[in-house]
Amino acid sequence: MDFSGKHVVVTGGTGALGTAVTGMLLAAGASCTVPYVHEAEMQRFPHGGNSKVKLIAVSDLADEAAVAKLFTGITPWASIHIAGGFAPGKVAETDKAALMAQIDGNLVSCFLCCRAAVKAMLAAGATTGGRIVNVAARPALEPRSGAGMSAYTIAKNGVATLTIALAEEVAKDGILVNAVAPSIMDTAANRKAMPKANFDLWPKVEDVAATIVFLASPDNRVTRGGIVPVYGKS
């Protein structure tokens, strides 16, 4: 895959999956804009010193003005939306604030970034279109598996629905929109949280990243509206 001369926005780019995605994009010749919220993640980000990476501090990706500022002055070939958050909780134990935190962090942030990316791509008048890749989750495709994490499941289901609807809206403009739906990924944080799990069954972040990068690449010429399961052996 060749991203030479192409600019890609990667939200959540300083996290485990985002770091893998950014690394693959850079190796393929892309330049990347990576927003970050937490200073500590930015400091740990291994690609921060790369001249093709622009790190931008943002207060909140669910804030319309912050997202508009992020996309100001850039013409992205692709926009990859990994940013989000997880919180467990049964419905009876989840108040409105907790529900809205999941919706804002996962769905609203994705919606606003999709909106800004589409506007930037259309404003450029590029004949080659562009690519958008969102990150849903396994419970978005299998809601019964979301028992005990209903707010998260609702938010990620919204990401999946947004992806399908937006893909139809912008297909004629050459913008292909897709999402991946990972199961629990093999990260240091997940291993720490679930030390007795069989880590061999979990999809590796590098493999999930490879799927994302393909969907964001010029090599993807026809796939749109897909919510791609990336479950590994789990």
What does the pLDDT read at residue 124?
Answer: 80
pTM: 0.96
Mean predicted confidence (pLDDT) in 59-67 = 96
Is residue 125 predicted with pLDDT exceeding 80?
A: no
Q: How confident is the model at residue 126 (pLDDT cuts 50, 70, 90)?
A: low
What does the pLDDT read at residue 181?
Answer: 98
Is residue 102 predicted with pLDDT exceeding 60?
A: yes
Q: How confident is the model at residue 231 (pLDDT cuts 50, 70, 90)?
A: very high
Long-range contacts for 205-212 (Cβ within 8 Å, ≥24 apart)?
A: 205/16, 205/17, 205/20, 206/20, 207/232, 208/17, 208/20, 208/180, 208/182, 209/17, 209/20, 209/21, 209/23, 209/24, 210/24, 211/180, 212/17, 212/21, 212/80, 212/82, 212/133, 212/135, 212/180
What does the pLDDT read at residue 127?
Answer: 57
Name residues whose C-beta falls within 8 Å of residue 95's C-beta, 6 or more positions apart in sequence.
none
CB 54 within 8 A of CB 72: no
Is residue 128 predicted with pLDDT exceeding 90?
A: no
Q: In CATH, what is the architecture of 7-230?
A: 3-Layer(aba) Sandwich (3.40)
Mean predicted confidence (pLDDT) in 215-221 = 97
Q: What is the pLDDT of residues 78-98, one digit of tens each?
A: 999 999 999 999 999 999 999
The chain-wide mean pLDDT, for the chain, equals 96
What does the pLDDT read at residue 132?
Answer: 98
- The residue extents of the domains of the chain are 7-230
